[in-house]
Structure 1
Amino acid sequence: MDRLTNLFISIVAALCLASCSNQSPEEADERYPEDQVSLIVPFATGGASDVVSRAVAMAMEEELGVPVVVVNKTGGVGAIGVYDVMMANADGYRIGYVPVELVMYDGLQIASISPYEFAYISRLMEIPAAITVSADAPYNTLDEFITYAKEHPGELQIGNSGTGSIWHIAAGALAQEAGVEFNYVPFEGAAPAVGSLLGGHIDAVSVSPSEVKTGLDSGDLKVLGVMGNERDPVVPDVPTMKEQGYDVVLGGWGGFVAPKDTPEEIIAALDAAIEKSMETETFQTLAESRGLTPAYLPGQAFEAFAVEQYEFFNELIPSIEME
């Protein structure tokens, strides 16, 4: 068989395969999903984002009828995993969990990622920042803490979950509001920061109340103020920053996105599965134990919220002292 004949047969076979298996985008959308869905989590296993995503993935499997496999891609304050989703095919088979840092990457100059690069599925939850210190610290109120910081500029060491993380920005925003200087100490996550506080190596942490709950329960730590609009259920007796005269409202949030231009029908199917998963006892119990506030928003509302947050942080970040 000569090369020309071989080429002719190859072309005919390719055309035949295309004609036999080809389906319009509309038909593909109607049949979605036909294969497993990969859910990218941009943080390590065991953290709140990972644990919550796995609980949601399990419930989504029942709704979608296919496996939903969690894949952890870490690094760059979540930027590596988020970028992976941004560059994926817009077919609904690779979606991702996104944290509040999604709207901060541009302002921090960590990565060229903006909220305009995604199709939004659902917002899942919110979680406020808080200032926590050792139980035997020489300050029992936020005012006393701030007074100490003014008398000892740059001496108070405040741990966070990494340079450029929401918890880092939260402490910086408080310092700006109160007119004080802190010494920011980054860690690879909130857990090691809290461990360092418990070990007496730093003076405070600016993480969520749920991330210090074990230390609160043991009596080793105390929370001085919460950066939410309302008091946090983990520490209901602790007043918010605003209640104490400091206009600082900052915290984390999380939700799910898909690559830009993912068909609306696919987004709707994923959104319905995620909303249903939030009604399960597993998710509700997990959210309560982790101190997470369920805060569902559907796609369009989530997108509007993310853009609003993007504009807020792009104005805030350049105005605060980061070091």
Structure 2
Amino acid sequence: MKKLKITSFFLVMILILAACGGGNNESASGTNFPTKSLELIVPYSAGGGTDAVARSFADIAKDELGRAIAVVNREGGGGAVGMQTGINSKADGYTLTVVTVELLTLPHSGLAQFSHEDLKPIALLNEDPAAITVRSDAPWDTVEEFIEDAKNKSLKVGNSGTGAIWHLAASAFEREVGVELNHVPFDGAAPAVTALLGGHIDAVAVSPAEVHTQVEAGDLKVLAVMTDNRVDSLPDVPTLKEGGIDLSIGTWRGVAAPKDIPDAEAKKLEEAFAVAAQSDEFKSTLDKFGLGYRYENSEGFSELLKSQDDIFSELIPSLDLN
């Protein structure tokens, strides 16, 4: 009888250990994640900036995960098609999506039915804030002087298209400082910068990268950047927050998973992506393409999404873009 009890005890312990994973490296969902290659959806066409960033990041991150990461382009709808595809994918950690600021702007513009809450943020990879840029011979040397002049006259500010991020950034700036600007849309940031150089408009609110060459040449000057911290490429240019203007807005790229991804898989991805995103190799890629760097983990990325979604939820409906 005693021998039978001992045998029964060990059988019970074996069953318990088996149910708990037996002390192996399995995740909470019962898999040695990842056991196969992953897919990274890029919601824009191949060859663009977002695609280039995604492919470089995937190539670096695969070494951290020990599995290949295939980049798949799902363009359409200004990013809506690819992001919706990512949202609808199986929440097992094997399908991820590169998300951009359009994750927030498209829904509030009535161009998509999803929400940032439909995804689980994993890592923020880059950020390019809006910057108030004028000609080098303009009468303003500070953003405060620019604002004061804008209170008394209609200043023309170029953007990359009505409803695009640089139009939204200039509109947010306008509301925050209490002025009325004359917004002039162009088919992209480059034509807007050309118009500024030609004296056809007074300023642009595009990214520092998009005016870097002209600033270096002495043709343009940046009065302020719309971000929490000064950007490395313009260390002498103050942020709006330094002048008491609480506005941080721009474009960015990050990686997200379907919202119901198991915690264990999400954690494994976050840890691997943290190493890849902060590597010198990835930072060099961003420098090569003239893109700004900013890494945030899942929590920090979530906070960014929430804060900027609050801005766009009020701003975009007020602009009557439809």
TM-score tier after normalising by the smaller chain length: 0.7 to 0.9
- Report the equivalent of 1:112: 113
Distance in 2 (alpha carbons) for counterparts of 1:294 and 1:278: 9
| 1:245 to partner: Cα distance | 4.9
Per-residue Cα deviation, 1:84-142 (whole angstroms, up to 9, x for no partner): 21122223332111123322333222211111211222222333211112323344332
1:97, 1:274 → 2: CA distance?
13
Deviation at 1:172, TM superposition (A): 0.2
The 1-side partners of 2:285 and 2:139 are apart by: 34
2: CA distance, partners of 1:38 / 1:191? 33
CA shift, 1:187, in A, is 4.4
Q: Structure 1 stretches of 5 or more lacking a match?
A: 1-24
C-alpha contact (below 8 Å) 2:36/2:67 kept by paired residues:
yes
CA distance in 2, matches of 1:204, 1:77: 26
2:301 is aligned to: 302
Over 3 Å counting, the alpha-carbon distance change for 1:168 and 1:46 in structure 2 is farther
Query: 1:33–1:64: 8 Å Cα contact kept in structure 2?
Result: no
Q: Which runs of 5+ in 2 are unaligned?
A: 1-27
Match of 1:169 in 2: 168
**2:216 match:** 217
**Matched position secondary structure for 1:104:** helix
Indicate the percent of aligned positions where both proteins have the same amino acid: 42
Higher mean C-alpha deviation, range 258-267 or range 209-218: 258-267
In structure 1, the residue matched to 2:159 is 159
Q: Deviations over 1:21-41 (max 9, x none)?
A: xxxx945x3252413x22222
Q: Classify the secondary structure of the residue corresponding to 1:177.
A: helix
User: Alpha-carbon deviations, 1:288-323, whole Å to 9, x = none?
Assistant: 55352322213x453354234323432343456769
What does the per-residue CA deviation read over 1:60-88, in whole Å, with 9 as the maximum and x for residues that have no partner?
A: 12223333232333444432321121122
Distance 1:122 1:131, change over 3 A: same
Q: TM-score, normalised by structure 2?
A: 0.78
| Map of 2:126 onto structure 1 | 125
| Residue of structure 2 equivalent to 1:95 | 96
TM-score by length of 1: 0.78
- The worse-fitting range, judged by mean Cα deviation, of 46-55 and 125-134 is 46-55
Q: Tell me, in whole angstroms, the C-alpha distance in 2 between the residues paired with 1:196 and 1:82.
A: 33
Mapped partners of 1:229, 1:174: distance in 2? 14
Distance 1:50 1:195, change over 3 A: farther
Secondary structure at the aligned position of 2:99 is classed as strand
| Closer/same/farther in 2, CA of residues 124 and 305 from structure 1, 3 Å limit | same
Q: CA 1:187 to 1:63, structure 2 compared with 1: closer, same or farther past 3 Å? A: farther
- Mapped contact 1:234–1:291 kept (Cα < 8 A): no
Aligned residues: 294
Distance verdict in 2 for CA 1:207–1:185, change over 3 Å: same
**Corresponding residue number in structure 2 for 1:137:** 138
Cα-to-partner distance string for 1:265-300 (whole Å, 9 max, x where unaligned)? 3323322221121232211223455352322213x4
Listed as ranges, the matches of 1:168-317 within 5 Å are: 168-187=167-186, 189-198=188-197, 200-288=199-287, 290-298=290-298, 300-317=299-316
For residues 248 and 26 of structure 1, do their structure 2 counterparts lie closer, same or farther at Cα, with a shift above 3 Å needed?
closer
Distance 1:312 1:139, change over 3 A: closer
Q: Which amino acid aligns with 2:180?
A: E
Partners of 1:81 and 1:187 in 2: how far apart? 25
Cα distance change of structure 1 residues 281 and 98 upon mapping to structure 2, 3 Å threshold: same
Aligned amino acid, residue 302 of structure 2:
E
Partner residue, 2:34:
32
Query: C-alpha deviations, 1:191-230, integer Å up to 9, x for none?
Result: 4543444455544221221222122112222112111223
**2: CA distance, partners of 1:33 / 1:136:** 59
Select between 79-88 and 243-252 the one with higher mean Cα deviation. 243-252
Of residues 289-298 and 216-225 in structure 1, the stretch that sits farther from structure 2 once superposed is 289-298
